[in-house]
Amino acid sequence: MASIAGGILSPLTSLFSFGDKGYLAIDIGSNSIKVLEVKGKGKGLRIINAGIAPLSSDAIQDNVVRSPALVAEAIRTLIEDQGLKATNVLTVVPGPAVIIKRANFPAQDQKDLRETILFEAGNFIPESLDNVNLDYQVLDTGSQNNTIDVLLVAVRKDLISSYTSAIEEAGLIPVVADVDYFALENMFETNYSPDPEETIALINIGAHYSLVNVMKGNRSAFTGDVQFGGKHFTDMVAEALSLSEEEAEDAKINGVLEGYNSQDIERIVTTASDHLLDEIQHTLSFFGTGTADEQITAVYLSGGTAQLPSLASMISQRLSVPVEVSDPFRNLRVSGQHEEFIRSHAASFAISAGLATRRPGDR
């Protein structure tokens, strides 16, 4: 998938050559910042360093960076602690704040299509085009009816700026901005080779919201979000057992906490999982019409909460499909002294791993 914010109206579009000085793939989430340092590209791509840092809950609100100084300080601290060397940054903006539309246009060459999209985009995007960065991806050329199926994506310039400004304040250079839906898709396409006839749901469980990207063959057919994530699990455990956030997080992840009944912890986590599954099923109900070729055939989970022992099996039972926790580094080379840390936190780096495959000028 092409870079959405690195597109036809974006100031981040780049024709520069940065050599092989490496990149930082930075996923600025609502609860933490995740960074991968990478070198090379394609089959020569190497993951050489990584880090995760907590982020204050008031730094990002309503999908916008409200305190660039807090985010910049967290990034600087992470860079210093991990000894990160690269300065060029690949980053993402949150999908729920992005406008995504599918449209059909008459078949035409690429130059004419670009001009047509620029002329017609205002009919599809409910924002002034002066206020957004716009990109597009050709999904299909319908030769039988002489049309082109296009995915249009628009991101408010002020939203992108809130993220890139924080990166610049940290002393770094943003060179690609993508959308987390499509970074997740890039991660999957890099590591897996599904049957073209399969319809696969990619679900990334973040802190405050979870992403859903349904892929038919090698293209995105539906994107949505669920306003429920790992932080909600932690809050439910904390409230039910009168624990601090740190204690509740530990209990959620490990299923045990000294002085507390593990069955009580399991019961709360199961209740939270049921709530998440209700929301996921509701979101998936907006995909397709229920015909045989639009049934989900497999689910791939990612995000830190995806590693909860019972979650994958619960989703599998509820949706009656195989469910697997994604391995973002399945086909990527991980080297250096940080390999153990990277692999032990693999599911948390799904978005960053998708970003790591991107380069300035990609379509």
Confidence of residue 327 (pLDDT cuts 50, 70, 90): very high
Dump strand ranges (E) for the chain.
23-28, 32-39, 46-54, 60-61, 64-65, 88-93, 99-106, 132-142, 147-156, 173-179, 199-205, 210-216, 219-226, 298-302, 323-325, 333-334
Q: What is the pLDDT of residue 2?
A: 40
Q: Is the pLDDT of residue 353 over 90?
A: yes
Q: CA-CA distance, 177 to 358, in Å (whole number)?
A: 9
Q: How far is CA 6 from the centre of its chain?
A: 16
Over residues 124-140, the mean pLDDT reads: 87
Please report, as a single letter, which amino acid is at residue 277: L
Confidence of residue 16 (pLDDT cuts 50, 70, 90): very low
Question: Sign (positive/negative) of CA torsion 229, 230, 236, 239?
Answer: negative
Q: Which CATH number fits domain 23-96+158-192+329-356: 3.30.70.2190, 3.30.70.990, 3.30.420.40, 1.10.3720.10?
A: 3.30.420.40
Over residues 38-43, the mean pLDDT reads: 88
Q: What is the pLDDT of residue 293?
A: 59
Over residues 47-52, the mean pLDDT reads: 95
| Contact status, residue 36 vs residue 345, Cβ threshold 8 Å | no
Over residues 39-63, the mean pLDDT reads: 91
Question: From residue 337, how far is each of 81, 182, 340 by CA, in Å?
Answer: 14, 29, 8
Q: Is the pLDDT of residue 192 over 90?
A: yes
Over residues 70-88, the mean pLDDT reads: 95
Burial of 171 per CB tally in 10 Å (0-12, 13-18, 19+): exposed
Q: What is the pLDDT of residue 217?
A: 77
Q: What is the pLDDT of residue 4?
A: 45
Confidence of residue 315 (pLDDT cuts 50, 70, 90): very high
Q: What is the pLDDT of residue 157?
A: 94
Listed in order, the ranges of the chain carrying CATH 3.30.1490.300 are 98-156
Listed in order, the ranges of the chain carrying CATH 3.30.420.40 are 23-96+158-192+329-356, 199-325
Please give the structure tokens belonging to residue 47. Answer: 């993951």
- What percentage of the chain carries pLDDT values higher than 70? 91
Q: Which CATH architecture has domain 199-325?
A: 2-Layer Sandwich (3.30)
3-class SS string, 73-115 = HHHHHHHHHHCCCCCEEEEEECHHHCEEEEEEEECCCHHHHHH
Q: What is the pLDDT of residue 218?
A: 77
Look at 3-17, 39-53, 70-84, 219-233 and tell me which has the smallest mean pLDDT.
Answer: 3-17
Q: Is the pLDDT of residue 290 over 70?
A: no
Please give the structure tokens belonging to residue 121. Answer: 């985009």
* Interaxial angle between packed helices 245-254 and 262-284, expressed in degrees from 0 to 180 and rounded to the nearest 10: 80
| Contact status, residue 205 vs residue 182, Cβ threshold 8 Å | no
Over residues 108-126, the mean pLDDT reads: 90
Q: Which CATH architecture has domain 98-156?
A: 2-Layer Sandwich (3.30)
Q: What is the pLDDT of residue 143?
A: 54
Site of tokens 């293209």: 219
Q: What is the pLDDT of residue 11?
A: 34
Q: CA-CA distance, 296 to 264, in Å (whole number)?
A: 33
Please give the structure tokens belonging to residue 298. Answer: 């497999």
Query: Helix, strand, coil proportions of the chain in percent (round to 5)?
Result: 40, 30, 35
Please give the structure tokens belonging to residue 146. Answer: 């002489």
pLDDT in tens, 235-288: 999 999 999 999 999 999 999 999 999 999 999 999 999 999 999 999 998 886
Which string of b and e fits 279-300 if b means at least 16 CB within 10 Å? bbeebbeebbeeeeeeebebbb
| Contact status, residue 187 vs residue 351, Cβ threshold 8 Å | yes
Q: What is the pLDDT of residue 363?
A: 61
